[in-house]
Structure 1
Amino acid sequence: MAGHLLKPDSMFAFLAAHRRELFPEAMFADLFPSGRGRPSVPAEVMASVITLQALHGLSDNETVDAVTFDLRWKAACGLPVTAAAFHSTTLTYWRRRLAASQAPDRIFEAVKAVVAQTGVLAKKTRRALDSTVLDDAVATQDTVTQLIAAIRRVGRDVPGASTVIAARCTAHDYTDPGKPAIAWNDKTARDHLIDALVGDAHRLLGYLPDQDLGPRAAEAVALLALVAGQDVEPVDGSDGTDGHWQIAQKVAGDRVISTVDPDARHAHKTVARRQDGFKAHVAVEPDTGIITDCVLTKASGPGNHEAVIGLALLADEQAPVRVLGDSAYGTGAARATLAELKHVAVIKPLPQRAAVPGGFTSDDFTIDFEARTVTCPAEHTVRITPSGGARFEKYCRSCPLVTSCTTAARGRKLTISAHEHHLRAARAIARTDEWQTEYRQHRPMVERSIAWLTRGNRKVRYRGVTKNNHWLHHRAAALNLRRLITLGLTHNGNTWAIA
């Protein structure tokens, strides 16, 4: 009744005409191997709904309302106007089925296969890498709240733990859902509470019954051990009293910020911009805005560096490409790997800083990589040690150029990394006009795709890396499909093409 009213270049009109070709029933057959317990909603309809939900950034309840009352959604899903929608838990059911399968991101991969069939990227030889911070769905907790919450969780999930808490943990009534009743403006009272809570956590961990723990219980115990150590440090009693625990003077590098979502982290996208949550990484073809790959990680911590993730996002590239990225992607190891894979790095190098304003930088020193020697601007040559160090101390004492080179009392020292030749070559080529033109023309275009990705979706809806990573892939699939439709995506009966 309403299909003819849809805009011909809209997502709704496209799904109304081609959802069966895009999401065939066989694509989801492995989710229901027994043939029993299969939901009554067809797979093509659920895949279309999941795609539209990700595109419009709706909650499950909002999505069900849209399927029920919005004629565009009904037309896209092929539902009669009078048809009632499914329950919102059906979406949860499908997400869990997908997450537990061998191909949890199959909707993204299906759209990626459409991109390949159209050939829209066939002659596009550039890929831009970037990342953005997404806010988490929970509140950041302070140390007191985390300790109490972690102890309560162990009491709920570990058999016998509640008895230990009742007998040995006295810093707080852990059956009370509120915070401890202390004078919070009294530093001494706060310090005493922290010491007592950490003591309770250690006693609980030490007196837990000997038993094999299931996954949920083991996770609760591990979280308590982590929370009890990440924010505090021991202090020996200087006045003859016993030592105690106090808030640490520095923040742990991989600090858990909430026991509700242990995967959320502090993030510093820039010096002035601080957020808590996750980091979405994308590889984008800059001319079309197509997202070729994506992944969501913790916002900080080991293994989550942009350079490492960026290389993983290029793993499916079948031919060498020109990789554009900011300086976060330009580590020596990343440049060496890109060169080995025959990719061309158009990545902004880190600027060189002189020890003396206007003085010599490390690029003013000549390095002979074969002879492993370094020559300074005053023509003094020293050998590079096995650890990569090069010291000019004996020459700096009488060198007339020392005031333009260093302020160190022991003279100038360089540290030569294993990938120094890649870094030097990158800095040299980045000074050319050709490099500057290409970088300024194509690198900023990735910001357009980042803006599409985060518009109305800066805050994630789920907890944990795994669930939010699946959401990110659904979001990227929806954006790619919308972009292809704008470019003229059509199906000729056998394959996908750009009209």
Structure 2
Amino acid sequence: MQGEWAGELVGPDVWETCRELIPAGSVFAFLAEHREVLFPPGMFADMYPSSNGRPNLPPQVLAATVVLQSLQGLSDFETVQELRCDLRWKAACGLGLYDTAFDPSLLTYFRRRLRHSADPMRIFTKVKEVVAATGVLKARQRRALDSTVLDDAVATQDTVTQIISAIRRVIREVPGAQEVAAEHCRAHDYTDPGKPRIAWDDETARATLVDALVTDALNLLGYLPEQNLGEKAANAVGLLALVAGQDVERAEDSDGRDGRWRIA
């Protein structure tokens, strides 16, 4: 079960001490003021059914973070940097002034739990309800009410993050993989810690990126030199094979032989 989080703020409460620095009427102030109403403690209990204890971080914090991440189109790494360094993000998500946030992988795990839950759109639904009641978000923030924003965070961002991370791991751990990637992988600069720079509100651009990343993963696996791998290298190869196949399928108009892929 989820359990209750007994942690304490690290440093002063940013919303209480720096409220005048947070733009009034902004999405940051909105989340700071309404976060407890949006995401009550029991809202995510079904996502943590284990009897072994509570999650390491309140899911309410992760939910508020995912909303901001979706609105600003940031990678997991970029999102955590904002949460560590930007007072507005700390206020919106309920963190203390000196809180260093969390490892970016927690966002991937949270989105995965959300996607496989009985109500994967619960965050969007609650945001829409409270915004309708308060009217706090107007024209320039209306994208917060578009379910495709959180669809992207829950599906595309999850798949993109996992594939890129797995490719980087193979490049790092497997002898010869760096040379193979340099020659055969074109979808992304895998030395860049950020998210691929595309128009994330463009469905075609997102689909093209996923297709290209899966192609990179398959090329990397297919062109690796035959060799005996140690445990870390073998695990990296196995993980890439898993993530490149678990959430994708051939494109709708593909004959299965032209190497075109989409999110399942």
- Tell me, yes or no, if the aligned pair for 2:47 and 2:117 is still in contact at 8 Å: yes
Q: SS of 2:204's equivalent?
A: strand
- Tell me, yes or no, if the aligned pair for 2:48 and 2:55 is still in contact at 8 Å: no
Match of 1:64 among 80, 103, 111: 80
Partner letter of residue 209 of structure 2?
Answer: A
- Tell me, yes or no, if the aligned pair for 2:64 and 2:93 is still in contact at 8 Å: yes
Match of 1:134 among 197, 200, 204: 204
Partner of 2:161: none
Partner of 2:168: none
Q: 1:92 to 1:132 in 2, by over 3 A?
A: closer
The runs of 5 or more residues in structure 2 that have no matched partner are: 1-16, 137-200, 227-241
Q: Distance in 2 between matches of 1:68 and 1:257?
A: 45
Identity of aligned residues (%): 43
Q: Distance in 1 between matches of 2:39 and 2:88?
A: 19
Q: Distance in 2 between matches of 1:13 and 1:80?
A: 15
Partner of 1:8: 24
Partner letter of residue 70 of structure 1?
Answer: D
Q: Distance in 2 between matches of 1:6 and 1:116?
A: 22
Partner of 1:114: 130
Q: 1:114 to 1:65 in 2, by over 3 A?
A: same
Partner of 2:52: 36
| Aligned residue runs from structure 1 range 150-161, under 5 A | none
Q: Distance in 1 between matches of 2:57 and 2:254?
A: 43
Between Structure 1 and Structure 2, the one with more strand by share is 1
Report deviation, 1:91: 0.5
Q: Deviations over 1:378-424 (max 9, x none)?
A: xxxxxxxxxxxxxxxxxxxxxxxxxxxxxxxxxxxxxxxxxxxxxxx
- Tell me, yes or no, if the aligned pair for 1:16 and 1:77 is still in contact at 8 Å: yes
Q: 1:10 to 1:118 in 2, by over 3 A?
A: closer
Q: Distance in 1 between matches of 2:134 and 2:65?
A: 24
Partner of 2:146: none
Partner of 1:90: 106
| Aligned residue runs from structure 1 range 195-214, under 5 A | none
The runs of 5 or more residues in structure 1 that have no matched partner are: 121-130, 154-173, 178-215, 228-251, 264-463, 466-499
The question of 1:54 aligning with 2:126 is answered: no
Q: Distance in 1 between matches of 2:46 and 2:116?
A: 11
Report deviation, 1:137: 2.2
Q: 1:60 to 1:33 in 2, by over 3 A?
A: same
Report deviation, 1:134: 3.1
Partner of 1:80: 96
Q: How many residues align?
A: 162
Q: 1:52 to 1:119 in 2, by over 3 A?
A: closer
Q: 1:262 to 1:72 in 2, by over 3 A?
A: same
Q: Distance in 2 between matches of 1:258 and 1:97?
A: 32
Partner letter of residue 109 of structure 2?
Answer: Y
| Aligned residue runs from structure 1 range 369-384, under 5 A | none
- Tell me, yes or no, if the aligned pair for 1:140 and 1:257 is still in contact at 8 Å: no
Q: SS of 1:86's equivalent?
A: coil
Between Structure 1 and Structure 2, the one with more helix by share is 2
Q: 1:32 to 1:2 in 2, by over 3 A?
A: same
Query: Scaled by the length of structure 2, what TM-score is found?
Result: 0.51
Query: Scaled by the length of structure 1, what TM-score is found?
Result: 0.28
Q: Deviations over 1:400-458 (max 9, x none)?
A: xxxxxxxxxxxxxxxxxxxxxxxxxxxxxxxxxxxxxxxxxxxxxxxxxxxxxxxxxxx
The structure whose Rg is larger is 1
- Tell me, yes or no, if the aligned pair for 1:14 and 1:76 is still in contact at 8 Å: yes
- Tell me, yes or no, if the aligned pair for 1:3 and 1:72 is still in contact at 8 Å: no
| Structure 1 residue runs of 4 or more that deviate by more than 4 Å after TM superposition | 115-120, 138-141, 174-177, 255-259
- Tell me, yes or no, if the aligned pair for 2:210 and 2:261 is still in contact at 8 Å: no
